[in-house]
Amino acid sequence: MITNVDVVVGLAWGDEGKGKVTSHLTKTNDYDYVCRWAGGANAGHTVYVNDKEYKTHLIPSGIFHNVPSIIGPGCVVNKEKLYEELNYLHSNGFNIDNVKVSPRAHMVHSEHISVDKTEYKASLGTTSNGIAPCYADKAARKGVRASEVLPEKLLWDEKLEGNILCEGAQGVWLDLDWGNYPYVTSSTTLPYGACSLGIPPQAIKKIYGVAKVYDTRSGVDPMFPETLLEDKQLSALGKIGKEIGVTTGRRRKTQWLNLDYLIKSIQITGTTDLIINKYDILEEFGVYKLIYSKHLASFNSIKDMESFLSSRIEELCPMINSITFSRSPKEI
């Protein structure tokens, strides 16, 4: 029986540090499973274990702490990249027997990747991993499921019990329904998507919403024009923050934190525990700005900005129980 479910969700445009948060929670809590509910190899999570950096794309961060790690039915799986990642984790001493794939997950094949490169990459700035064409085939009911391709030893028996952590991919503003369509991903990034794992909504107890103290965006989106890459101050902030995509290697466009959007994403996700990452980067940069009520606000110190953030969020997001300002790439 499922006794408790916690969910980690990105509150922005992805790249918020969800992998770090998932790894930290797995290390400090007694979870029986860690599960991904959406996306594929278009995600990129960076995790530190014993001060060594690891990067994953498909496999949930529970693998780093010897916890069964499930790639759920709402995910899309590139077989070649899955095996590459399994080999990478095995060569680094992790127990890959803990990795299981839902038989209902859909498989990305070479034609999907070809279509992505020719039809989607230039106009939408996709990762060229065949994600959208694969989901399109799934919706058209002509897709290929993992049960038809992967060996039985890799397939999940679709049973969950005990204490479960669900790891999101991408973020709220890349959601297929809630994002700036069509400049979105092709799956559900909001926490209710975790229920596709076979989880009753009533079992969800905590929703860990993850953001950064400034915003970044990979890919094409009119909300993040290319001119942001030419802004000297924002470019300098992105350079200090090492804002390079884990999956694509592309330089991310950097923008001041949009508190209006953050408050909205906290509200629609039902976030109970908020983690705002990269405070150490902003402290090092020494310029403290955010967007609120559609205007750019400046602060004299990080403490002033932190106080403003906390008061607005607590006032407008009554479901929030805690706010954590994280200053480390290795732990919350």
174-194: per-residue pLDDT in tens? 999 999 999 999 999 999 999
Structural domains of the chain in order of their starting residue, each with its CATH number: 2-325 (3.40.440.10)
pLDDT at position 237 is 97
pLDDT confidence tier of residue 91, bands split at 50, 70 and 90: very high
- Tokens 């997950």 -> residue: 105
With a CB cutoff of 8 Å and minimum separation 6, the contacts of 279 are: 213, 302, 306, 325, 326, 327
pLDDT confidence tier of residue 134, bands split at 50, 70 and 90: very high
Average pLDDT of the chain to the nearest whole number: 95
Cβ atoms within 10 Å of 213's Cβ, excluding its own: 26
pLDDT confidence tier of residue 45, bands split at 50, 70 and 90: confident
C-alpha to C-alpha distance for 221 and 238, rounded to whole angstroms = 17
For residue 233, pLDDT beyond 80: yes
For residue 110, pLDDT beyond 90: yes
Q: Which of 94-98, 121-125, 244-248 has the lowest mean pLDDT?
A: 244-248
Query: 45 catalytic, yes or no?
Result: yes
pLDDT confidence tier of residue 153, bands split at 50, 70 and 90: very high
Helix axes of 302-316 and 259-269: crossing angle, nearest 10 degrees: 40
Mean pLDDT for 39-55 is 90
pLDDT at position 103 is 98
Query: 116 catalytic, yes or no?
Result: no
pLDDT at position 278 is 97
pLDDT at position 182 is 95
Catalytic residue among 6, 24, 45, 273: 45
pLDDT tens figures, 209-222: 999 999 999 889 99
Q: Which of 77-91, 242-256, 272-286, 311-325 has the lowest mean pLDDT?
A: 242-256
pLDDT at position 217 is 95
pLDDT tens figures, 245-259: 766 677 899 999 999
Catalytic residue among 6, 15, 137, 175: 15
pLDDT at position 12 is 98
pLDDT confidence tier of residue 122, bands split at 50, 70 and 90: confident
Which amino acid, one-letter code, is at 92? N
pLDDT at position 307 is 97
pLDDT at position 37 is 98
Mean pLDDT for 268-282 is 97
Mean pLDDT for 102-131 is 91
pLDDT at position 125 is 79
C-alpha to C-alpha distance for 219 and 13, rounded to whole angstroms = 10
C-alpha to C-alpha distance for 122 and 250, rounded to whole angstroms = 14
At 316, is the secondary structure helix, strand, or coil? helix
User: Structure tokens of 34?
Assistant: 């860690």
C-alpha to C-alpha distance for 62 and 99, rounded to whole angstroms = 9
C-alpha to C-alpha distance for 152 and 154, rounded to whole angstroms = 5
Q: Which of 83-92, 204-213, 227-236, 245-254 has the lowest mean pLDDT?
A: 245-254
C-alpha to C-alpha distance for 262 and 25, rounded to whole angstroms = 22
